[in-house]
Amino acid sequence: MTTNRYTRWRLILGRQAEEGLCALTGCPVGELLDDDQRALDEALGEIYGAEGESTGAAGAAAAGATGAGRAGGQSRSAKRGAGLGASAPRLARWLGDIRGYFSKDVVAVIQRDAIERKGLRQLLFEPETLGQVTPNVELVGTLMSLKGMIPERTKETAREVVRAVVDEIVKRLRGGLEQAVRGALDRSRHSPIRSLSNLDWARTIRRNLKNYDATRRIVIPDSFHFFARQHRRREWNVIVAMDQSGSMADSVVYGGVMGAILATLPALETHVVAFDTEVVDLTEKCHDPVDILFGVQLGGGTDINRAVTYCRGLIHDPRKSLFIIITDLFEGGNARELVRQVEDLVASGVRVICLLALSDSGVPSHDESMARRFAEAGVPCFGCTPTMLPPLLEGALKGQDLTALAQRCGVRPE
């Protein structure tokens, strides 16, 4: 579909502006928008307008989207009443409509507004409706916060939605995190002790390429090279503690997936803990990140000190322990004791990192005073995007200066 500036203003300002705009263009009232544009306008009006009017940001989104239009250019009837009502099938059709008009990112924003502005949370728990929703991290956060209200008939659909998001995150993070751990625990030293399990295949082949037999198409080695040792199982202890407060929803999603990935690496002993005013150890659920996320209950208060006390009990060898705490540092418990415990952890040799936000925006809203106290105690505090996790993890395991590393990678430490 095509638009001119008057059409765009009509989509931005809503139905009440149509008469004035038609006076400027000379077109009859009701003919400023074509069928596709009017259907788009009314789809947005369901959420943002009164009696079918699209307004403000929604109209701006519509104006920006009309260049793409409905996939295939199909026209739909514009005669629709305002308001989604309580009909789950109607909401499912509406969700299908907006996916036809807008990009995935815009659809995610409209879905969130539909939940917040129209009180449609209950409707998300109808299987036919939830199956039409575009999966995204924000929706997973909503499902996590309302998981106790999900009826039995919809639980499997909800898990499928969460699974779709988790699988996408795993694809983004697994390779980088595994490579980071391998890089940090690189077996660079070699040994004359011969053991097939410690054979350095790459170096052995490289040093014997001169002995390549072209006829038999094999390398005939006259020397072998061996690593000094294999990685010991559970060589490092990694503890991921996640703040369950509602503002940390995106960070909990990414943190839970990160913990599940790390738990698959034999060189690491991984623990995943969620906390508010209570502490829940989710380590036994690490075989499946979806189970981790459904084990989280978003909302409630925050007692970081209590969580740190629990996590200290999971540490065996401080100098081989990495403690990643994901929190905005708004402490509802004993702040002075929290700082003292963090200082003790650092002094004992534990490498402690505070991720103030772990989200695609990486922009934290946090307690700046507490972040400074953590920094003074030797704990770097970052707002981090998921793509920055691998280099930060590798740097932490190698004992690098994470503040300098973050600055080189474009992350602003607090």
Would you place residue 333 in the very low, low, confident or very high pLDDT band (cuts 50, 70, 90)?
very high
- Token pair recorded at residue 187: 């077996």
Q: What is the pLDDT of residue 88?
A: 47
Q: What is the pLDDT of residue 74?
A: 36
Q: What is the pLDDT of residue 41?
A: 78
Torsion angle, CA of 93/95/99/101, rounded to 10 degrees? 70
Average pLDDT over residues 36-46: 75
Average pLDDT over residues 331-360: 94
Q: What is the pLDDT of residue 138?
A: 82
Average pLDDT over residues 9-38: 77
Asked if 341 and 366 touch (Cβ cutoff 8 Å), the reply is no
Instruction: Report helix angle 335-348 to 368-376, nearest 10.
Output: 30
Question: What distance in Å separates the CA atoms of residue 1 and residue 253, rounded to the nearest whole number?
Answer: 38
> What average pLDDT does the structure give for the chain?
79
Q: Is the pLDDT of residue 239 over 50?
A: yes
Q: What is the pLDDT of residue 411?
A: 54
Determine which of 45-49, 270-274, 284-288, 408-412 has the lowest per-residue pLDDT on average.
Answer: 408-412
**Backbone conformation region of residue 56, classed left if phi is above 0, alpha if psi is from -120 to 50, else beta:** left
Q: What is the pLDDT of residue 86?
A: 44
Question: What distance in Å separates the CA atoms of residue 308 and residue 310, rounded to the nearest whole number?
Answer: 5
Digit-coded pLDDT (tens) for 358-374: 888 777 789 999 999 99
Determine which of 187-196, 229-238, 294-303, 362-371 has the lowest per-residue pLDDT on average.
Answer: 187-196
- Which residue is it, tokens 């925006």? 361
Average pLDDT over residues 188-198: 56
Asked if 39 and 29 touch (Cβ cutoff 8 Å), the reply is no
Q: What is the pLDDT of residue 90?
A: 56
Would you place residue 73 in the very low, low, confident or very high pLDDT band (cuts 50, 70, 90)?
very low
Helix (H) or strand (E) run with residue 272 in it:
strand 268-275
Instruction: Report helix angle 304-312 to 335-348, nearest 10.
Output: 30
Q: What is the pLDDT of residue 83?
A: 47
Q: Is the pLDDT of residue 199 over 80?
A: no
Average pLDDT over residues 105-115: 74
Q: What is the pLDDT of residue 235?
A: 84
Average pLDDT over residues 184-203: 64
Q: Is the pLDDT of residue 72 over 50?
A: no
Q: Is the pLDDT of residue 196 over 80?
A: no
Average pLDDT over residues 242-255: 89
The 3-state secondary structure of 309-368, one letter per residue: HHHHCCCCCHHHEEEEEECCCCCCCCHHHHHHHHHHHHHHCCEEEEEEEECCCCCCCCCH
Q: Cβ neighbours of residue 298 under 8 Å, at least 6 residues apart?
A: 141, 144, 145, 244, 245, 246, 248, 249, 252
In the chain, the percentage of residues whose pLDDT exceeds 90 is 33
Question: What distance in Å separates the CA atoms of residue 388 and residue 26, rounded to the nearest whole number?
Answer: 55
Q: Is the pLDDT of residue 89 over 60?
A: no
Determine which of 39-43, 95-99, 321-325 has the lowest per-residue pLDDT on average.
Answer: 95-99
Task: Name the phi and psi angles at 332, rounded to 5.
Answer: -100, -5
Average pLDDT over residues 62-74: 43
Digit-coded pLDDT (tens) for 303-324: 999 999 999 999 999 999 999 9
Task: Name the phi and psi angles at 38, rounded to 5.
Answer: -70, -40
In the chain, the percentage of residues whose pLDDT exceeds 70 is 77
Q: Cβ neighbours of residue 163 under 8 Å, at least 6 residues apart?
A: 290
Question: What distance in Å separates the CA atoms of residue 187 and residue 229, rounded to the nearest whole number?
Answer: 7
Q: What is the pLDDT of residue 261?
A: 95
Q: Which residue has the higher pLDDT, 158 or 300?
A: 158
The residue ranges of every structural domain in the chain are 5-134, 190-227, 236-408
Q: Cβ neighbours of residue 100 under 8 Å, at least 6 residues apart?
A: 70, 71
Question: What distance in Å separates the CA atoms of residue 87 and residue 97, rounded to the nearest whole number?
Answer: 15
What does DSSP assign to residue 28? Answer: P
Q: Is the pLDDT of residue 263 over 90?
A: yes
Average pLDDT over residues 114-135: 71
Would you place residue 406 in the very low, low, confident or very high pLDDT band (cuts 50, 70, 90)?
low
Torsion angle, CA of 19/21/24/28, rounded to 10 degrees? -50
Q: Which residue has the higher pLDDT, 33 or 212?
A: 212
Which fold does the domain 236-408 belong to in CATH? Rossmann fold (3.40.50)
pTM: 0.67
Amino acid letter, 332: G
Q: How far is CA 277 from the centre of its chain?
A: 23
